[in-house]
């Protein structure tokens, strides 16, 4: 029964307006409290930002850096509010995590020119896993508000030779845009896409884990960005224009009929010409 309920809950989250993810999620948890943990870990929510008091730098919150009600900062590697015994990455992994945060900080700067990014890693038996988070909000100018959130979860299984690894990436991007203009009233476009990819990569000094993961994340985000552009700005617009036609439909039909007639006339003339030439 629980599994059925979880399926229904997830189906519901996919249908309710994505612009209200948080409210939908909390209403859902109120409805079926037993599903709370499962829902929190399987439904992507817009990322929240916290400030690291030690370094003054911002970091992003998610289930992967949460322990109870505390969150771990990737900069100072401490929990806020402080925890006696919070889950921590191993020393080796912490070093990699620091490097990864620096690397993706640059990635963020080059593609997003602003925003906040955070990387959290955790140990696995045969490798490690991690999440790369990015959040960028529009500046609210030109009467347009917007926000981009990406969540990339990567699983790395190191081969016993140590010279290659298998990477599995699951990426979700959440985007919402809202405008308030005279002509189009209030327009609210929101949503999320999830994609997956996996591949093997060599691991060496010239091709370290961070570079391999970085390339996969970059390709994936570029792909998702383009898909969002086509879906958001293509398909939904087409659907709107399928519901109503600015040009009167009888005119449109007449126009189409006329065009077909001309096309047919041209085809006939072309056929006649070639048969004349052959004779």
Partner 1 sequence: MHSPPGEFNEVFNDVRTLVNNDALLREGVARAIAEYNKDQLTPVRLDGQSHYALVTEHNDLGGGRFVDPRAKLTFKFDHLRKEATDLKPCESDPATESWRSAVETQLIQYVSDHYPHGVCAVYARTQGSAVTLTMCIEDHQFQPKNYWNGRWRSTWTVTLGGGSVELKGVLKVQVHYYEDGNVQLVTSKDVKGNLTVAGEEETAQELVHFIEAAENEYQTAISENYQTMSDTTFKALRRQLPVTRTKIDWNKIVSYSVGKELKKQ
Among 48, 51, 235, 255, binds partner 1 (CB under 8 A): 235
Q: Which stretch binds partner 1 (CB under 8 A): 45-53, 78-86, 209-217, 261-269?
A: 209-217
Residue 162 or 242 with smaller CB distance to partner 1 = 242
Smallest distance from partner 1 to CB 199, Å: 15
User: Which of positions 95-114 make contact with partner 1 (CB under 8 A)?
Assistant: 98-99, 102-103, 106-107, 110-113
Distance CA 164, CA 146 (A): 40
Rule CB under 8 A: is residue 9 a binding residue for partner 1? Answer: yes
Among 89, 192, 203, 220, binds partner 1 (CB under 8 A): 192
Q: Measured in whole angstroms, how far is the alpha carbon of residue 193 from the centre of its chain?
A: 6
Among 36, 159, 210, 223, binds partner 1 (CB under 8 A): 210
Q: Which stretch binds partner 1 (CB under 8 A): 56-64, 77-85, 221-229, 263-271?
A: 221-229
Among 132, 169, 177, 220, binds partner 1 (CB under 8 A): 177
Distance CA 180, CA 36 (A): 35
Question: Of 148, 147, 228, 145, which Cα lies nearest the Cα of 181?
Answer: 145
Strand 79-80 and strand 70-72: the pairing is antiparallel
Question: Of 19, 20, 33, which Cα lies nearest the Cα of 9?
Answer: 33
Binding-site string for partner 1 from residue 66 to residue 85, where x marks contact by CB under 8 A and - marks none: --------------------
Q: Dihedrals φ, ψ of 52, to 5°?
A: -80, 115
Distances (CA, A) of 275 to 263, 264, 269: 19, 17, 10
Q: Dihedrals φ, ψ of 79, to 5°?
A: -90, 145
Q: Which stretch binds partner 1 (CB under 8 A): 58-66, 81-89, 121-129, 175-183?
A: 175-183
Rule CB under 8 A: is residue 214 a binding residue for partner 1? Answer: yes
Rule CB under 8 A: is residue 222 a binding residue for partner 1? Answer: yes
User: Which of positions 126-165 make contact with partner 1 (CB under 8 A)?
Assistant: 136, 138-139, 142, 144, 146-148
| Structure token pair of residue 233 | 């700005």
Positive or negative torsion for Cα 18, 19, 22, 23: negative
């Amino acid at each position: 029964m629980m599994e059925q309920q979880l399926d229904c809950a997830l189906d519901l989250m996919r249908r309710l307006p994505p612009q209200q993810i948080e409210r939908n999620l909390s209403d859902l948890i109120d409805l079926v409290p037993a599903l709370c943990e499962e829902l929190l870990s399987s439904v992507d929510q817009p990322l929240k930002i916290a400030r690291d008091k030690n370094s003054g730098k911002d970091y992003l919150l998610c289930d992967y850096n949460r322990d109870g009600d505390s969150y771990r900062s990737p900069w100072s590697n401490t929990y806020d509010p402080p925890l006696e015994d919070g889950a921590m990455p191993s020393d080796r992994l912490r070093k990699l995590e620091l490097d990864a945060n620096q690397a993706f900080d640059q990635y963020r700067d080059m593609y997003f020119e602003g925003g906040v990014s955070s990387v959290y890693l955790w140990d696995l038996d045969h490798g490690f896993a991690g999440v790369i988070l990015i959040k960028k909000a529009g500046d609210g100018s030109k009467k347009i508000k917007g926000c981009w959130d990406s969540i990339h979860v990567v699983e790395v299984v190191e081969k016993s030779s140590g010279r290659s690894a298998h990477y599995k990436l699951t990426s979700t991007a959440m985007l919402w845009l809202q405008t308030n203009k005279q002509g189009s009233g209030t327009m609210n476009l929101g949503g999320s896409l999830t994609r997956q990819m996996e591949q093997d990569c060599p691991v060496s000094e010239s091709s370290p884990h961070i570079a391999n993961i970085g390339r996969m994340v970059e390709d994936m985000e570029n792909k998702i960005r383009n898909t969002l552009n086509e879906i958001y700005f293509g398909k939904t617009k087409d659907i709107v224009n399928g519901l109503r036609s600015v040009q009167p439909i009888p005119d449109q039909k007449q126009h189409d009929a006329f065009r077909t007639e001309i096309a047919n006339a041209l085809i006939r003339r072309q056929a006649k010409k070639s048969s004349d030439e052959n004779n």
